Structure 1
Amino acid sequence: MSYNIRRLRFFVDDVYGSLQENQTVAEQFFLSEDDHELEEMMCMMVPYAHYSSFWGVARDELATKAVHTQEKEYLRLSWTGGITPLTSSTFIRAGYAHLTKGSFLSDLPIVGPALSMLFQERVIESLVVRNGKIVFRDLGYNWRLGVH
């Protein structure tokens, strides 16, 4: 029997039957994160959750709020698709990040913000859910191998 890799990636091993519940939690977390509702985000995370971004790694509520504030101030994130489950507790989504502040291009007067939109980077956000709470969140570049 032969398998198609493209079809296999849609099958997720759900041994404990928690995929649907965890996916609902992940969707709610992503929605609250996109709307910048910090209190709702904090309620969905365990107190020691690993929250990482371009500005560092946070392990408590106050540091997580600081990292999220940096993201909100310097990045404009746009997501290209929905949530993709990798396992029954791990989820990812892909999109683009546009630096709105802090880069040479975006700091140019008048034309800077418009020019910086042309240089968006691919990003990927991953999330791990355990027992209905977020324990790990990471936002980073989506590195692809170059073909030369």
Structure 2
Amino acid sequence: MSYSGRKLKYFVEDSDGWLRRNQQVAEQFVMAEDDRETKEMLSLLAPRAHFASFWGVVRGLPAAVALQAQEREHLRITWTSGLQPLTSRTFARNGYVHVLDRERMSFIPVLGPWLSSFFQRPVQELLVVREGRVVFRGMGYVWDIGKH
């Protein structure tokens, strides 16, 4: 008997029965992020966030708000895939990020966004959901071993 790798990647072991519930929570989190509803994201960031500037260091919720504002000002993320379950508690989605820099070509009228699209990098976001709550969010570049 033979198996197709493409078909097998959609089968995720759900031994504890949490896959469907956790997937709904992860999808709600992603939709809230895409709709700019920031309450849950800020609650995730607040306990560990710190933000440093010339004027000093801030921790907690004000730091989380500052980090999110910096991210929105300097990054544009386009998601190319929906959430894919890796385990019953871990979900991933893929996309592209490109850095917006005010001094560079992305702010040239008409041609700027098109020219800057050549400098996009693939990213992957991972979400870990436990007991109906997102407990970890990680985002990073997708590294290609053959190129780096």
User: Same-fold call, TM > 0.5?
Assistant: yes
The TM-score by the shorter chain falls in which range? 0.7 to 0.9
Partners of 1:117 and 1:100 lie apart in 2 by: 10
Map Cα deviations across residues 31-70 of structure 1 (whole Å, 9 max, x no partner). 1112221124346x496579xxxxxxxx954443333222
Partners of 2:104 and 2:46 lie apart in 1 by: 37
Q: Cα distance, 1:71 vs. partner? A: 1.6
Corresponding position of 2:75: 75
Question: Counterpart of 1:10 in 2: which secondary structure?
Answer: coil
Counterparts in 2 of 1:64 and 1:22: CA distance versus 1, 3 Å: farther
Give the unaligned 5+ runs of structure 1: 51-58
Corresponding position of 2:135: 135
- Kindly indicate whether the alpha-carbon contact (under 8 Å) linking 1:94 and 1:125 is maintained by their aligned counterparts in 2: yes
Q: Which moved more, 1:125-134 or 1:111-120?
A: 111-120
- Kindly indicate whether the alpha-carbon contact (under 8 Å) linking 2:94 and 2:123 is maintained by their aligned counterparts in 1: yes
Q: What amino acid does structure 2 have at the position aligned with 1:13?
A: E
- Kindly indicate whether the alpha-carbon contact (under 8 Å) linking 2:98 and 2:120 is maintained by their aligned counterparts in 1: yes
Map Cα deviations across residues 85-135 of structure 1 (whole Å, 9 max, x no partner). 00001000001112122675447x555444212211111111101111111
Give the unaligned 5+ runs of structure 2: 50-58
Q: What amino acid does structure 2 have at the position aligned with 1:17?
A: G
- Kindly indicate whether the alpha-carbon contact (under 8 Å) linking 1:126 and 1:139 is maintained by their aligned counterparts in 2: yes
- Kindly indicate whether the alpha-carbon contact (under 8 Å) linking 1:100 and 1:106 is maintained by their aligned counterparts in 2: yes
Q: Cα distance, 1:144 vs. partner? A: 2.0
Counterparts in 2 of 1:83 and 1:129: CA distance versus 1, 3 Å: same
Partners of 2:47 and 2:3 lie apart in 1 by: 40
Partners of 1:47 and 1:134 lie apart in 2 by: 14
